[in-house]
A = this chain, B = another copy of it.
């Protein structure tokens, strides 16, 4: 599906990913910053390994493009990019911890050994902890935005999206579902996914709105967009897990069926899941209706997320 993607979208996606990579590289310097004593080499290297050189940088892209919708930023705006990198640091922490032996026990991520394989388990736990903590450091720093009210709104939203009532809670529900005797029903699966993967994608769009000084209605529109996109993303992910190409994905697939993973694809079957996914993309589009043609790239992003092949 990727060949018929809008060229402008594809170009912007690469632009933002490159800018994010460069800023992450600089943020994850071995040099201790103000108020830090030492940045241990081994830890920083593991954090860099977990964060650099991979991924579509989808969450940063959504954040940057949502901010751009309000004229708040072009991709070169350092403050907006910092917020995008903070979000990506937090996302990377979640991958490192999810891959741990006690969690999903994955050896491969983005085609490379996972952090606990490339380093060791203690380092992977600590690198995840440090990435999570550093995400808040980067977000809270005044270089991200001059207005403390904007920064604290970004921090509060990120913590809410990633915490026990968001991503971390979703991962817990997912682990519990694996252990459960009966498969989850549709409502429970949708809640789980809205927390585990949905919360951070939704936050990406909301954070752009915060940076763009959106009014309440605009914020709600971006939130609805992010929510629908997040749900579509997860269905696409589950379809890929059933049908995808392991080499292209760069990680072990078809693992969900063997592990009692709760997915809408296993509950509804592929055709109905695809129909639901496409309705969600339409929901994402409708949410941005009021922004007119300016929202084209975000709408393209929702289509991309739903139809990606990796």
Contact = CB atoms under 8 A, between A and B. Distances in A.
A126 B38 CA distance: 27
A232 to B, nearest CB: 18
A47 B123 contact: no
Interface of A: 32-33, 35-40, 42-44, 47, 93, 97, 100, 102-103, 120-123, 125-126, 128-130, 132-134, 136-137, 140-141, 148-149, 151-152, 155-166, 168-169, 171-173, 175-176, 191, 194-195, 199
A122 B195 contact: no
A46 to B, nearest CB: 9
Contact of A152 (B129, B148, B168): B148
Contact of A168 (B43, B136, B156): B43
B166 A36 contact: yes
Nearest to A167: B133
Contacts of A165: 32-33, 35-39
A194 B37 CA distance: 8
A168 B40 CA distance: 10
A130 B40 contact: no
A38 B173 contact: yes
B137 A163 contact: yes
B97 A129 contact: yes
A136 B164 contact: no
A210 to B, nearest CB: 12
A168 B130 CA distance: 6
A296 to B, nearest CB: 29
Contacts of A43: 164, 168-169, 172
A3 B301 CA distance: 66
Contacts of A157: 35
Nearest to A188: B38
A163 B37 contact: no
A40 B128 CA distance: 22
